[in-house]
Copies of this chain bind each other. A is one copy, B any other.
Amino acid sequence: MERRHRVVVVGAGFGGLALVKSLEGVPVDVVLVDSNNFHTFQPLLYQVATAGLDGDDIAHPVRGIVARQGGDIDVRLGTVTSLDLDRRTVHFDDGPPLEYDELVLAAGAVTATYGVPGVAEHAFGLKNLADALGLRAHVLHQFERVAVDRSLIDEGVLNFVIAGGGPTGVELAGGLVELFDRVLVKDFPTLDVRRARVVLVEPADRLLSTFSPRLSGMARRTLAGRGVEVVLGVGVAGTDGKVVELTDGSRVPVGTLVWTAGITASPLARQVAEQLGDDALTRGGRIVVGPQLTVPGHDEVFVIGDLAGSTDDAGDLLPQVAPVAMQGGAFVGEVIRARRDGVEVGWFRYRDKGSMATIGRHAAVAQLPGGIRLSGTPGWLAWLGLHLVMLVGFRNRVNVLVNWAWNYLTYDRASRLIVGESPPKE
């Protein structure tokens, strides 16, 4: 028996899931590949890291998602080790290779440290669930250490430096001060928790550079008002794990350094470049794609999301955010469907739906289409509602709501468990 036309999708993030959904009813076999058996709702990783949500609240089993959808979708748990574009085959770390008729690469991005000395060894990233759980355990562990030996405060063990003033850095900074001021201050009644410092370092002259300057300013003032030390125009020059050196020459003793200052395309991009040459990658290491999100010379290979070098009408690279990935996934699904129906589709065009970042309780900034700008409580409510609706899976939504309501009403956070995911970094 000849096998049916097979579409292999690498990555069960926002892009991969949107694609699978848009293929509903198309008579092809779909294999969804991911190295985890769950989808991670990345925008809320900072909530896990700051003990506001459980890890399980923002992760949903991939098999459960696709089973609900029905259709001929298979799931493969595994890590892609190489691609053979000529033989149309994907190879894995474990188990047999997989042939495809069409391939969609949606493997996202990973933390990039740009070679800044010591960052890869000593800093925490915040790109996946293991990162978030490891950071949570580490942060809480610092307070436990200081509770036993107060002199560690003078060594900087309660100094938390966040490199990067984008949405992730801003949200993490806001979440940390809230965790400290509302929760840990009660957990450690004999400790002067106010001595904990959160320092947010951003090389540009403002936070949230993709937002309007007015919203950037509001974010900075709100964070500063809540006790975050915002340092603009300065970057991290290096660290030995005990001290962070900034580009202005100043040195900050540190117990925790979080690096949210850069991402780069998944290592899958390099595997494509090995076969097609370095011209196959954009300057930021993404895979060059045509207007239908295919790899030049390989119409059967699509790239979407953070991994794709897709551009806007002006030729600028699109931002590496969830809406781009989701729209790309839906578009590629349409292309695959149209090819089977023998009809034409146009080019991919990203429609900006706006962006949001939350700073904490009753404070968020939102920049919506049509020039609508929200901040403060309205921004926060918009942020809350959008993220609840977006969260995959009804049950997760209920649990997230329970956790949020609980946190809101009590200023408590029940998720502050130190589970040994990763040894504390020194």
Classify chain A's interface size.
35 or more
Q: Among the listed B54, B147, B190, B417, which residue makes an inter-chain contact with A61, where contact means beta carbons less than 8 Å apart?
A: B417
> Is A148 touching B94 in the complex (CB atoms < 8 A)?
yes
Between-chain CB contacts (< 8 Å), 6 pairs? A38-B418, A61-B187, A74-B190, A77-B147, A94-B145, A133-B419
Residues of B within 8 A of A54 (CB): 54-57
Q: Which residues of A contact B (CB under 8 A)?
A: 36-38, 54-57, 59-61, 63-64, 67, 74-78, 94-96, 129-130, 133, 140-141, 144-145, 147-149, 186-190, 393, 395-396, 398-399, 402-403, 406, 412, 414-421
Question: Measured between C-beta atoms, what is the minimum distance from A202 to chain B in Å?
Answer: 32
| Interface contact B187-A56, CB-CB below 8 Å | no
Known: A67-B186, A148-B94. A395 touches B402 (CB 8 A): yes
| Contacting residues, chain B, for A130 (C-beta < 8 A) | 419-420
Which of A36, A67, A416, A417 counts the most B-chain CB atoms under 10 A from its CB? A417
In the complex, what residues of B have CB within 8 A of residue A75's CB?
A: 147
Cross-chain contact B414 with A96 (CB below 8 angstroms): no
In the assembled complex, how far is the CB of residue A103 from the closest CB belonging to chain B, in whole angstroms?
18
Further contacts, 16 of them, CB under 8 A, given A55-B419, A67-B186, A67-B187: A54-B57, A55-B56, A56-B417, A64-B412, A75-B147, A77-B418, A78-B148, A94-B148, A96-B149, A133-B419, A395-B403, A395-B412, A398-B406, A399-B399, A399-B402, A420-B421
| Set of chain B residues within 8 Å of A76, measured between Cβ atoms | 147-148
Query: CA separation between A355 and B188, bound complex, in Å?
Result: 37
A186 CB, min distance to chain B CBs, angstroms: 5
Specify the chain B residue showing the minimal Cβ separation from A51.
B61
In whole Å, how far is A275's beta carbon from the nearest beta carbon of chain B? 25
Q: Give A59 to B414 CA distance when docked, in angstroms.
A: 9
| Residues in B whose Cβ lies below 8 Å from that of A399 | 399, 402-403
Residues of B within 8 A of A147 (CB): 74-77
State the CA gap A188–B417 with chains docked (Å): 32
Chain B residues lying within 8 Å of A94, measured Cβ to Cβ, are 145, 148
CB-CB < 8 A to A396: which residues of B? 414
Cβ-defined contact, B95 with A61, below 8 A: no
Q: Least Cβ distance of A187 to chain B in Å?
A: 4
Contact call B416/A37, Cβ cutoff below 8 A? yes
Output the residue of A74, A147, A414 with the most chain B CB within 10 A: A414
In angstroms, Cα B419 to Cα A133, docked, is 10
Flag if A419 contacts B95 (CB, 8 Å): no
Greatest chain B CB density within 10 A among A61, A130, A149 is at A61
Contact of A398 among B402, B412, B418 (CB under 8 A): B402
Separation of A162 and B393 alpha carbons in the complex (Å): 33
A398 to B409, alpha carbons, bound, how many Å?
14
From B37, B64, B74, B189, A418 is in contact (CB under 8 Å) with: B37
Query: Which of B61, B144, B414, B421 is A77 in contact with, Cβ under 8 Å?
Result: B144
User: CB distance A129 to B419 under 8 Å?
Assistant: yes
For residue A67, which residue of chain B has the nearest CB? B186
Q: CA–CA, A65 to B77, complex, Å?
A: 39
Query: Once the chains bind, are A56 and B415 in contact (CB under 8 Å)?
Result: yes
Closest Cβ neighbor of A130 among chain B residues: B420
> Inside 8 A of A402's CB, which chain B residues have their CB?
395, 398-399, 402
Q: A37-B140, A67-B187, A187-B64 are in contact. Are A417 and B148 (CB under 8 A)?
A: no
A414 in contact with B61 (CB, 8 Å): yes
Closest to A189 in B: B67
A139 to chain B, nearest CB (A): 12
**Nearest residue, chain B, Cβ from A133:** B419
Chain B residue nearest to A148 in the complex (CB): B95
